[in-house]
Amino acid sequence: MKTISNKTGLLAMMFAALFVTGCSDFLDESDPSNFTVENYFTKPEHARSSVNAIYAALRDPMTSGFGGGTWMMTEFATGLAATDLGQAVNSYFVKDLKNTSDNGYGQAYWQAYYKGIANANISIAKIPTITMDAAEAKRLMGEAYFLRAFYYFNLVRMFGSIPLITDVVNLQSEQLRPAQATPDEIYKLIVADLQTAEASGLAWTDATGKVSLGAVKSLMARVYLTMAGYPLLKGAEYYTLAAKKAEEVIDSKQFKLFSSYNDFHDPNKKNIEENIFMIQYKTQIIPSQWQVAIIPYNKNISQYSDETGGIYATADFARSFETADLRGKEKQFFYTKYTLESDRTKEIDLGGYFIWKHFDVTAQTSTSNSDLNWPVIRYADVLLMYAEASNEVNGPGAKAYDAVNAVRTRAQLANLAGLSKDALREAIWRERWYELCFENITWFDMARLRKAFNVSTKKFDDYIGHKFSYGPVLAEKELLFPIPTVEIRNNTKLNQNKGY
């Protein structure tokens, strides 16, 4: 991990935050050019700006262009995504199951999320030294603990045994080149961090996009559900914990499903109702960065000059939706035709099933500057987590059916009823595959369940040995991504994952 650059990045972001929120205060500092981590934390606003800096790493993987986009890594790993962007070699490495430790996507995730962890560690260490309102300090610490847990949760699921760094690191630190911790050790920290965040006094919702109690409990449900499955296999106890946390979110009555899938890409619906936690963007300031990736390659339908065709659904997956399923219909989750940028009265066939659920109509047709957030936790996911975990513990029950059927009702599908435990389990999994597709969730479900969706049979195959519809076959090594070459080169204590 690049400790010096992490510190520099944090301070730069803190300065930017202060400039936006209070120019006069910033200019009153005696010598702002001499700010360091050691002397910066002297005012309450420094605490807020330091926590704001932790969020920034969430956006790093979302950058997209003719080189692809880091966020696509876990989508191509499902076998449900296609691309027309031949120069994005990192996409093909993953998509065709020929991945190596030189893949830039894995390196970008590793560096971005460890930068986020480093910034969280600084806030956690330094905020208690500031004289400020105790309740506000506790809430800020809650945000920092949540974000550290989030970054570690993604890293441990992607890479397995990883360095566990909880201190502020400098060139003399023992943790500068740390050994790998086991997944069990990483998960213990994740749970402890989330429990601290849960008790920090955060509000149930936050319309500005900061961490809320709803986000904390929802992520706890996701963590416990993962711990119940592979690789930890903690079973019934953790399914019970997952069901409890998801149920607390449901029973809070603070969240609800959108009535229309159009609300997924409505900037007016940021951080409210179904959107429990999102990566934040703002048009003309920090516009969202994936629009060029979800439009077809050079079809001239967009105001964006870069039409990359970077990622879209395989036809086999898009056509596997039930005939009545609204999500599978045109301009719900996918789109196959659109009007020409030069003449909006003329519509052309795009030759594929492109991702409509993240499509910004205003940006694509007029501004080329998107105001959309990226969804990280939606209420639909919480409902499906509850249904799955509850069924594992208690079998089919009324509340589990209510949860999964709420998602199906919006999709205009008939309610599930009268199923065995095993049949309901697979029905809930199918809902997760369809409802949460292309939201950086499906591959993580595959890894924790050791299952993969067969688009032909609409059943679930064992992960190892599952054949993608276009040919490649999953092997054991694909249960994890390779640790980036540069990290192993810089830290000889790291051991590469099996098979790479």
pLDDT band at 35 (very low <50, low <70, confident <90, very high): low
Residue 152 shares a structural domain with residue 22: yes
Closest CA to 432 of 394, 466, 374, 391: 391
Last residue of a domain, one of 372, 406, 437: 372
**Residues 409-428: tens digit of each pLDDT:** 999 999 999 999 999 999 99
User: Is the residue at 114 inside a domain?
Assistant: yes
The CA-CA-CA angle for residues 423, 424, 427, to 5°, reads: 90
Residues found in the chain: 500
How much is the pLDDT for 7?
A: 41
Q: Is residue 317 part of a domain?
A: yes
Domain interval for residue 35: 3-69+100-180+482-490
Cis peptide, bond prior to residue 396, ω within 30 of zero = no
When pLDDT is averaged across residues 235-243 and rounded to a whole number, the result is 98
Q: In the prediction, which pLDDT does 34 show?
A: 53
* 143 and 9 assigned to the same domain: yes
Span 111-141, pLDDT tens digits:
999 999 999 999 999 999 999 999 999 999 9
The pLDDT, as a whole number, for residue 176 is 80
Residue in the block written with tokens 């600084």: 122
301 lies in the same domain as 164: no
pLDDT in tens, 12-29: 444 334 333 333 343 344
Mean of pLDDT over the chain: 93
pLDDT score of 479 more than 60: yes
Residue 249 belongs to a domain: no
* Predicted confidence (pLDDT) at residue 205 exceeds the cutoff of 80: yes
Residue 163 maps to a domain: yes
Q: What is the mean pLDDT of residues 466-491?
A: 97
Element (H, E) at 349: strand 343-355
The SS3 of residue 453 is strand
Identify the pLDDT of residue 18.
36
Q: Which residues contact 121 (CB under 8 A, 6 or more apart)?
A: 148, 165, 166, 167, 168, 169
What is the arithmetic mean of pLDDT over 46-51?
A: 96
For residue range 69-97, what is the model confidence (pLDDT) as tens digits?
Answer: 999 999 999 999 999 999 999 999 999 99
Q: Would residue 206 count as lying in a domain?
A: no
Q: What is the pLDDT of residue 40?
A: 86
Instruction: Please say which residue of 313, 337, 372 terminates a domain.
Output: 372
Residue 226 lies in a domain: no
Structure tokens at 262: 């159009």
pLDDT at 33 exceeding the cut of 60: no
Same domain, 305 and 172: no
| pLDDT of 100 over the 90 cut | yes
Express each pLDDT in 395-408 by its tens digit.
999 999 999 999 99
Overall pTM > 0.85? yes
Is there a domain that residue 318 lies in?
Answer: yes
Q: CA 452 to CA 445: how far, in whole Å?
A: 9
Domain count, the chain: 2
Q: Is residue 260 part of a domain?
A: no
End position of a domain, from candidates 355, 372, 389: 372
Q: CATH no. for residue 15?
A: 1.25.40
Q: Which pLDDT score is estimated for 262?
A: 97
172 and 303 part of one domain: no
Sort 137 into a burial class: Cβ within 10 Å, 0-12 / 13-18 / 19+: middle
Tell me the mean pLDDT in the region 179-193. Answer: 97
pLDDT digits (tens, 9 = 90+) for 248-277: 999 999 999 999 999 999 999 999 999 999
DSSP, residue by residue, 276-341: EEEE--BTTTB-BS-GGGSS-TT-S-SSSS------EE-HHHHTTS-TT-GGGSBTTTEEEEEEET
pLDDT digits (tens, 9 = 90+) for 349-359: 999 999 999 99
For residue 141, which of 153, 152, 129 has the smallest C-alpha distance? 129
